Amino acid sequence: MTLISQDITKAADFLNREEIIAIPTETVYGLAGNIYSEKAIKSVFEMKKRPLFNPLIVHIHDIAQLEELAEELPEKAKVLAAAFWPGPLTMILPKKENVPDLITAGHRTVAVRMPNHPVTLELLRSLKFPLAAPSANPFGCISPTTAFHVADYFHGELPMVLEGGPCEKGIESTIIGFEGDEVVLYRLGTISVEAIENVIGKVHIKNKKEDAPEAPGMLERHYAPQTPTFLENDINAAIAKFPGKRIGLLLFKERTDKAVSYQCVLSANGNLHEAAQKLYATLHQMDKMDLDVIIAERFPGVGLGKTINDRLERAAKS
């Protein structure tokens, strides 16, 4: 049985005993363990079935903790931390010797973020160590945005999900690194490119696997439902390609009058934040509806629309 509970003391007990639990964040739920416990971190990789070459993000509650993790803090990293922490920004920093290689997959950098969720911040404050936490989904699957999604994925395997309600943002953090003077964006996320550039100036986007060997997690197929998924510009033309099939539509603002098995509009008033927040939960739901295909509408390529399209492209990759 997986316990779903708001009990922070109980959550800390598991973590202090080198066990792993799921934690809420403002982006998605994470599968968390003590960064210094080889046992816990190995369990994280095993439970997720994640390859060991794919490093983990370290979660902190206080910027002072960077002293134990990062060799140095580039000037621009300080500016970004001041602007976005706590929040959905992950920064890749040169790592200190004592950060275990298991966390960083042998890289000389460590990914760090300060999540903005009151329950997890309180949990982190009560612990003597930071938490490594990848998204709490089996490798390649849709990320979880509720405690129920996590429990559904890991049934009895996981002792506890710390309940923190539905995730407010619904899409993973934006990952930023520093290459010389250049600020590089490795993963589109909840903070839009425009919002980052407003603070720090031009960033170089290396969001694709081939551009970023130093960001090993950027897989072409990822965030994927089991149901075959397609990302399309013209929904009505796409529907016509699947006569007689059970079609589910994932739409931005407007319903279609075509007959389909199911259609979901993510934000009737065209709010990209609302659409992002509902995206994964809707994919989870549609994946359980016994549909033959999911057809998603391409979003406008601005702000969070870019991030949503990135996730849908990876979900649609066969």
Q: Nearest approach, Cβ of 20 to Mg ion (angstroms)?
A: 15
Largest CA distance in the chain: 60
Three-state SS letters, 144-199: CCCHHHHHHHHCCCCCEEECCCCCCCCCCCEEEEEECCEEEEEECCCCCHHHHHHH
Q: What is the DSSP letter of 21?
A: E
Q: Nearest approach, Cβ of 108 to ligand TXA (angstroms)?
A: 8
Tell me the CA distances in angstroms from 312 to 116, 169, 209, 316, one per residue in order: 25, 16, 16, 6
User: Is residue 135 part of the contact set for Mg ion (CB under 5 A)?
Assistant: yes
Choice from 19, 37, 55, 151 touching ligand TXA (CB under 6 A): 55
Question: How far apart (Å, rounded) are the C-alpha atoms in residues 25 and 170?
Answer: 9
Closest CB to Mg ion among residues 140, 166: 140
User: Is residue 145 part of the contact set for ligand TXA (CB under 6 A)?
Assistant: no
Q: Nearest approach, Cβ of 110 to ligand TXA (angstroms)?
A: 6
Q: Nearest approach, Cβ of 134 to Mg ion (angstroms)?
A: 5
Give the range of 51-59, 191-199, 202-210, 293-301 binding ligand TXA by CB under 6 A. 51-59
Site for ligand TXA in 220-259 (CB under 6 A): none
Q: Are 135 and 113 in contact (CB under 8 A)?
A: no
Question: In sequence order, which residues have a C-beta less than 8 Å from that of residue 100 and are 6 or more positions away?
Answer: 35, 36, 38, 41
Residue 57, binding choice from ligand TXA, Mg ion, none, Cβ under 5 to 8 Å by partner class? ligand TXA
Residue 110, binding choice from ligand TXA, Mg ion, none, Cβ under 5 to 8 Å by partner class? ligand TXA
User: Is residue 114 part of the contact set for ligand TXA (CB under 6 A)?
Assistant: no
Give the range of 37-45, 87-95, 281-289, 303-311 binding ligand TXA by CB under 6 A. 87-95
User: Is residue 107 part of the contact set for ligand TXA (CB under 6 A)?
Assistant: yes
Residue 86, binding choice from ligand TXA, Mg ion, none, Cβ under 5 to 8 Å by partner class? none
Per rule CB under 5 A, count of chain residues that contact Mg ion: 1
The enclosing H or E element of 40 equals helix 38-48
Q: Nearest approach, Cβ of 57 to ligand TXA (angstroms)?
A: 5
Give the range of 1-9, 36-44, 107-115, 128-136 binding Mg ion by CB under 5 A. 128-136
Could you give the dihedral angle defined by the CA atoms of residues 118, 121, 123 and 125, in that order, rounded to the nearest 10 degrees? -140
Q: Are 195 and 42 in contact (CB under 8 A)?
A: no
CA dihedral sign, ordered 46, 48, 53, 54? negative
Closest CB to ligand TXA among residues 175, 249: 175
With vertex at residue 90, the alpha carbon angle to CA 88 and CA 95, rounded to the nearest 5 degrees, is 155
Question: In sequence order, which residues have a C-beta less than 8 Å from that of residue 75 and are 6 or more positions away?
Answer: none
Question: In sequence order, which residues have a C-beta less than 8 Å from that of residue 272 and are 6 or more positions away?
Answer: 299, 300, 303, 304, 305, 308
Choice from 99, 131, 160, 175 touching ligand TXA (CB under 6 A): 175
Dihedrals phi, psi of 237, to nearest 5 degrees: -65, -35
Residue 305, binding choice from Mg ion, ligand TXA, none, Cβ under 5 to 8 Å by partner class? none
Q: Are 125 and 206 in contact (CB under 8 A)?
A: no
Choice from 33, 134, 164, 170 touching ligand TXA (CB under 6 A): 134
Q: Which positions lie near ligand TXA, rule CB under 6 A? A: 25, 27-28, 30, 54-57, 88, 90, 92, 104, 107, 109-111, 113, 115, 133-135, 172-173, 175, 186, 214-218
Q: Which positions lie near Mg ion, rule CB under 5 A? A: 135
